[in-house]
Structure 1
Amino acid sequence: MDFNFTSEQQQFKDALRRFIDKDYTFEHRNKIVYSEKGVSDDAWATLVELGMTALPIPEEQGGFSGSAVDMLVVMQELGRGLVVEPYFATVLGAQFLKLAGGQEALLEQVAGGELKLAAALGEKQSRHELCDVATTAKADGDGYVINGAKTVVIHGAQADKLIVSVRTGGEQRAEDGISLFVVPADAAGVTRRDYRTIDCQRAADIAFSNVRVPASALLGKAGAGWDILDAAVDYGRALLCAEAVGAMDALNAATLEYLKTRQQFGVPIGKFQALQHRMADMFMQAEQARSMATLAAVKVSSSDAQERRRTISGAKARIGQALKFVGQQAVQLHGGMGVTNELPAAHHFKRLTMIELTLGDTDHHLGRFTAQPGFKEAA
């Protein structure tokens, strides 16, 4: 099988890399991170101009109908450049709209960069179990009333609309009875507390107090949102796997350059065989992660839900192991400098740590992988 990028994919990759290298340097990123907003309108406008927001949107809604493999190219570059704009949150939200259907107008706005989205899914008690939903939506007249709270919503305060998982029936941890709504972020009763996370991204805790939404805000059918939620989040996990590969590539390159320049006993420390072996191990871990991220991108659109879950969880778990190894080795090889904010290496390590925890950590996905039908029989 040919795993080389097509000419169009390579063009996207090159255009995004030129933007990051020229206009989104580490120093420029730091100014954005520590600004009041924590994101840059100018950087977002450039991503829109490059076609990044239109890439995953269907052609009928003004997009390019890009596949998950196309998105693999983009996310690797964003991971390499430590981009903090709300791109991942928006395209994840768009995946919910695509799977639910009937949201053409919103998808057109996403493609044009006019609409930013965020997926408000996690709650304080749910950990990584997205079916553990205590937030409720009760039918009221010709609409619904939402009450509850969501935690650590990635770019929740920067979003114009929120994709919110709620319970309209069933037990709190049941898959049945989950519904999905599109809620305006400025709707009456919505309260957002914005903060910076350890990787310099933005997240928000969001409370919903008697938030009224029309019936048209419902995605899919009431009480039958789990399949959309499960598939959309797997898509998000595949994107995170790709981002992790880009971050590991950058971290390996930075570490190799440091070993070539840092001197000890009159020679570069990269001359020491023990450190060369550690760099070789880091490279192999990154290459294995690249293979798994590619597999995840290929399989995330599979019509076989069990195959999709098995592949995505296998990739998230294996890449979680790889990024931990690469990150920790890079910090050690940099010495004390490896944990200082002055070096990009520390920021890549922090971002990798957050990727491992986002949408299910390594242990969670190992459990999900082994829980899929056929695993015990095959073993």
Structure 2
Amino acid sequence: MVSDAQLDAVEHLDHALEAAARDPGGPTALWQWTTTSTEYAHALLELIDEQVRANRWAHASSRELVTAIDVASQVMTAASPEAVEAIAARHGVLDPVGTHTPIAPKEHDYHPRSSLLVSLRLASLARHLSLGQQLMFRTASGRPRPPVRTERRDGPRRLPEGTWPARGWVPPALWAGELTDHVSVDESCGRAALSLALSKVGSSIPLRAIALDLGLPAWLADRIAKTLSNRTRNELERLTADLERLFSRLEAAPPPIDYSHRVAVGRDLATVRAAAVEAASFQSIALDEAEEVAASVALWVAYTGSHPRFCPLPLNDGLQPPWPSGLNRAEFLDDGFLQLPHDQGEPMAWWPP
């Protein structure tokens, strides 16, 4: 016997299909998201197909189909991510390693996939994901989604590449004054860890690769969880939300600086040291070896946006030499910047608006 709830579910599906046929692009609300009537109906059909394959619909029993429709309707009308998680666990739908809602960066998809269902599943799993996964899937955004991998051609082959929307936007040590609630401004590893985390938003690139691109030690990527994740669930949610907001600000106003390029230039220490010597000469100051190191480290930090701790210049006993006597730091940095590669009109330093 068909229950009233199941009859309501069938009516729900009928209305969704009718709306999609009448106005395919019509706005449809789901939680705080706005989708289209077509995407909504497609998600319902995908949920039914996950339980009863579409090629069996013509021969499946009415009870089997009605049960599948009821479960699909429960998912799509659930009041919260926690409710979706409970329904998925109870009925075995929204399988994160299945073909309908695989929670993995898109690469080669052989099965049509509902982005709406993937967002639903990501929202329901968010609290179980690692910090890196939450950032990659942007669970703190208006609508979680997996990063879409791009492809490049190598002759006849199509090679997938990872997505990294923030590459070049983020300095190796996060801007002073940003996200100060989460780490001490003077803590070099903490600021660098925040830069790694910000670079991970929406990206499928491994954290170790991001660290190397930013001129940071690979071990920092391995310890980012210890540096940033050792906090309560509420604190972690606040961190991911603040990182998402900062990332959105960068999306709206991308930096006029390519920090990735600057870090690459900064790896050529001979170029940095030559620029430092030249800039000091403008103030008629000849640097001895220790002063040259001190000036070069300061120029490298200002140019790359990093921290002295991560400068590849060797320091005696790990201590930075004293600043050269009589050398005006601000003038020196301005002159040194002009000796290093940069685009016309590019500022030496920049902060998010």
Which protein is bigger by CA-based radius of gyration?
Answer: 2
Instruction: Answer yes or no: same fold by TM over 0.5.
Output: no
More strand by share: 1
| TM-score normalised by L of structure 1 | 0.24
